[in-house]
Amino acid sequence: MVQTTLKELVEQADRRASRIIDDMKRAGISREEFRFDVREYTLAKFLLDPQEATGDDIFELAEISIGKLLAMNDKSILLAVGSSTCTNQSSTDIKKVLLSLALQQGMGVKLEPDESAACETTQQLADILYDRRRG
């Protein structure tokens, strides 16, 4: 059996995330469907399968993701989980910010940094994006 590299996993996840964004842009999408999509998008970006994470807390999902990546790091990509701006920022913060910015970009929505920081769950993030998108 051929082992999937981390690089290949990331590429698969990006394709999956792109499809989810398309669904999120669908006219008539309900709030519940949108919430489901944001969580699925988060799992995709964090390279997690649904059975690997049951919760909704973004930091917890990020922790699980980092643990998984560290366990399977095959050097095929940079993990990019360290500080990149000398702010002594945690890896989970960075993952959360990248997730939020990607969703904002994908949806064509702009959140204030404090608004994004206030979201602790994928549902909270989904709701603010959903309302902003409609508004």
- Contact residues for other proteins (CB under 8 A)? 80, 84-90, 93-94, 96-98, 100-102, 105, 113-114, 116-118
User: Considering the complex, what minimum distance in angstroms separates the CB of residue 87 from other proteins?
Assistant: 5
Which of 33/120 has CB closer to other proteins? 120
Largest CA distance in the chain: 50
Classified as helix, coil or strand, 33 is: helix
Which of 30/87 has CB closer to other proteins? 87
Which of 39/96 has CB closer to other proteins? 96
User: Considering the complex, what minimum distance in angstroms separates the CB of residue 110 from other proteins?
Assistant: 8
- Give the separation between CA 108 and CA 72, rounded to whole angstroms: 33
Which of 38/94 has CB closer to other proteins? 94
3-state DSSP helix/strand/coil % of the chain, to nearest 5: 65, 0, 35
| Spatial contact of 24 and 38, defined as CB atoms under 8 Å apart | yes
Q: What is the tally of helices (H) and strands (E) in the chain?
A: 6, 0
User: Considering the complex, what minimum distance in angstroms separates the CB of residue 100 from other proteins?
Assistant: 7
- Give the separation between CA 129 and CA 100, rounded to whole angstroms: 10
> Dihedral angle at the C-alpha atoms of 79, 115, 106, 75, nearest 10 degrees?
0
User: Considering the complex, what minimum distance in angstroms separates the CB of residue 49 from other proteins?
Assistant: 25
